[in-house]
Amino acid sequence: MYQHLEKTPLILSRSQRLAVVTPLANERETFDEFTERVMRQLGPDDQLICVFDRVCKDGTVEIARGRAASEPRLKVIFAPENRCVVDAYFRGYREAMAGGFDWILEMDGGLSHLPEQIPQFVEAMLKGFDYAGGSRFMKGGSFEGPISRKIVSRGGTLLANFLLRTRMRDMTSGFECFTRAALQRVVAAGVRSRAHFFQTEIRTMMHELRWTEIPISYGCPSDSVGKGPVREAFGVLWKLYRERSAARRKDEHRLSRSSY
């Protein structure tokens, strides 16, 4: 159960502008609640950017446009050219950067992520981190959903950390916040994955910056993960492993030569 929390002085007093990027599909039943709860966490100069594409069939985009007509902090993007969820996220990233926002936070739009936890990310960014990643598997975090989904998420984290020598306790969550410079780095580099493994690619990049993790509560609405995305994830992970291993060998060779 969530509680309606009031805006904190931390939110009201900051000068940095925050954009919340959320790809949406068929969310007719929860859209009003989601936007209402997000707006409670935003300052007057912040913005919620909702990205829709042809996957939306239930009229949610029309509902969103109607609300945006009376809420200046809500921006609705319709991008029929999107071919996958990754395209939707990156369209949102580019919109946020074009808007000149200092921080960009991404989250799910189906209430699997709690809008009331946005202030935790804001607090982390105010401390000077380049990136704050939500974690379901650290103290204070939680995962509610089918055990099969938890195994995939937790197992993916353990495997990624082992092969890539990363250290985050959650390498697959999509509740995260970037500085503008950090997100520019992601957009410039791009990702290989066309499914949700792109979050692991992003978190791998963020290890090169100043990062922290935030405990989050997650409620998973889906019963399973398709075999296609899982196969793709293994393929991309293997490529990342080979690339990072080659880079480490190159660095070690350079250091050994410089020691003579």
pLDDT (tens place) for every residue of the chain, 260 residues total: 333 344 554 555 688 999 999 999 999 999 999 999 999 999 999 999 999 999 999 999 999 999 999 999 999 999 999 989 999 999 999 999 999 999 999 999 999 999 999 999 999 999 999 999 999 999 999 999 888 889 989 999 999 999 999 999 999 999 999 999 999 999 999 999 888 889 999 999 999 999 999 999 999 766 556 667 777 777 788 887 788 777 666 655 465 555 55
Q: Which pLDDT score is estimated for 199?
A: 95
Under CATH, what is the fold of the domain 14-258?
Spore Coat Polysaccharide Biosynthesis Protein SpsA; Chain A (3.90.550)
110: helix, strand or coil? coil
Q: Which pLDDT score is estimated for 224?
A: 58
Task: Report the alpha-carbon distance of residue 186 to residue 194 in Å, rounded.
Answer: 15
Q: Which pLDDT score is estimated for 241?
A: 79
Task: Please enumerate, as own/partner, the contacts of 222-230 that have beta carbons within 8 Å and a separation of 24 or more.
Answer: 222/145, 222/146, 222/149, 223/146, 223/148, 223/149, 224/146, 224/148, 224/149, 225/148, 225/149, 225/152, 228/195, 229/195, 229/196, 229/197, 230/152
| DSSP string computed for 75-97 | EEEE-TT--SHHHHHHHHHHHHH
Q: Which pLDDT score is estimated for 128?
A: 96
